């Protein structure tokens, strides 16, 4: 099978996409490539100035690019609610939501609402955002929700007794793995619930393998030293997300990642469907996590309306 590339992304003219964390790294590259294919992109960024700078860079390359920035702090559920309310008031369709933004092994901290920073940002922020935007997603023919997980999902565990690391010692990589496993559990549970109401909306997932980006700025010196040697460049790493988000053949519930095992077991290489861990396939855990996430975020998912 031929290698999937940017050229395989279908024309996105007339489609509206939200990309979280679009000011740098994979999010920036996803937003850039989608605009090159004609999409109307909303770059949802925590820092307003960085979002504007990202838009400027894309427009410098492509003056006719349809892209604007918007303020979204995934670590603050009030910010998530404001973004969603403003988006729903201003837009009549949402074809593609790319849940990309996140943090990796930062110093121990909490979100504004008191959740462990990585779980609260990477999972709960996106869970609340998707739920608030769901009515418009359901009403848009051919819509898709793509959530970016990580190789760390293979090592992650959902510790319901202590999701926020209030009682156990905070381990940055354990917290990251929990959040990324939660992302993939969300991908699969969302698809199950869409299927249950007969919706044609697709929920897909991806992981970028090891892709060089500023997300790793808090990682260990050894990790950062290895990155230039092992990691692939961002324009290649983002292909996993873009395939999950745009490939007509990417089924709901599919999970995409790099394919070259000769480079550290799938951290780089052409895009193919990736292995989903046993823990991510646990439907009972996914359902429990969903219920807990609705309670923690105050977000109720309503699967009614169009069967788009």
For residue 68, is pLDDT > 70?
A: yes
Q: Rounded to an integer, what is the distance from CA 88 to the centroid of its chain?
A: 20
Q: For the residues 217-227, what does the mean pLDDT come to?
A: 54
With a CB cutoff of 8 Å and minimum separation 6, the contacts of 129 are: 20, 72, 74, 80, 83, 84, 97, 99
Q: Rounded to an integer, what is the distance from CA 1 to the centroid of its chain?
A: 27
Q: For the residues 32-36, what does the mean pLDDT come to?
A: 98
Q: For the residues 156-182, what does the mean pLDDT come to?
A: 97
Q: How far is it, in rounded angstroms, from Cα 286 to Cα 279?
A: 9
For residue 159, is pLDDT > 80?
A: yes
Domains, the chain, ranges and CATH?
13-296 (3.40.50.720)
For residue 156, is pLDDT > 60?
A: yes
pLDDT in tens, 257-307: 997 543 444 566 789 999 999 999 999 999 999 999 999 999 999 997 555
Provide the H-helix boundaries in 232-300: 234-237, 239-246, 283-297
Give me the residues paired with residue 69 across strands.
Answer: 43
Yes or no: say if 186 and 153 are a contact pair by the CB < 8 Å rule.
Answer: no
With a CB cutoff of 8 Å and minimum separation 6, the contacts of 280 are: 153, 181, 184, 185, 188
Q: Of all residues in the chain, what percent are helix, strand and coil, respectively (each to 5)?
A: 45, 15, 40
Give me the residues paired with residue 41 across strands.
Answer: 17, 67
Q: Which positions are annotated as active-site residues?
A: 176
> What mean pLDDT, rounded, does the chain reach?
91
At 94 the pLDDT is 98
247 vs 220, residue with greater confidence: 247
Yes or no: say if 69 and 277 are a contact pair by the CB < 8 Å rule.
Answer: no
């Amino acid at each position: 099978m031929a290698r999937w590339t940017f050229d395989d992304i279908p024309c996105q003219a007339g489609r509206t996409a939200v990309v979280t964390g679009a000011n740098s790294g994979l999010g920036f590259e996803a937003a850039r490539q989608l605009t090159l294919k004609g999409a109307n992109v909303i770059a949802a960024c925590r820092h307003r100035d960085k979002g504007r700078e990202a838009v400027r860079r894309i427009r410098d390359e492509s003056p006719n690019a349809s892209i604007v920035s918007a303020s979204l702090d995934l670590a603050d559920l009030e910010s998530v609610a404001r973004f969603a309310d403003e988006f729903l008031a201003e837009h009549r369709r949402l074809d593609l939501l790319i849940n990309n933004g996140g943090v990796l092994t930062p110093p121990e901290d909490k979100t504004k609402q008191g959740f462990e920073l990585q779980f609260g940002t990477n999972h709960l922020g996106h869970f609340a955002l998707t739920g608030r935007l769901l009515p418009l997603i359901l009403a848009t023919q051919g819509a898709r929700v793509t959530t970016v997980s990580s190789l760390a999902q293979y090592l992650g565990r959902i510790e319901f007794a202590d999701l926020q690391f209030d009682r156990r010692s905070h381990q940055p990589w354990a917290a990251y793995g929990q959040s990324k496993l939660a992302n993939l559990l969300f991908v699969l549970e969302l698809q199950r619930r869409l299927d249950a109401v007969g919706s044609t909306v697709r929920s897909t997932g991806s992981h970028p393998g090891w892709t060089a980006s500023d997300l790793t700025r808090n990682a260990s010196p050894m990790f950062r030293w290895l990155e230039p040697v092992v990691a692939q460049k961002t324009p290649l790493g983002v292909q996993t997300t873009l395939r999950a988000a745009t490939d007509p053949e990417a089924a709901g519930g599919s999970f995409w990642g790099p394919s070259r095992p000769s480079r550290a077991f799938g951290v780089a290489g052409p895009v193919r469907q990736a292995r989903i861990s046993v823990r991510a396939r646990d439907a009972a855990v996914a359902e429990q996590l969903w219920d807990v996430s609705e309670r923690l975020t105050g977000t109720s998912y309503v699967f009614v309306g169009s069967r788009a």
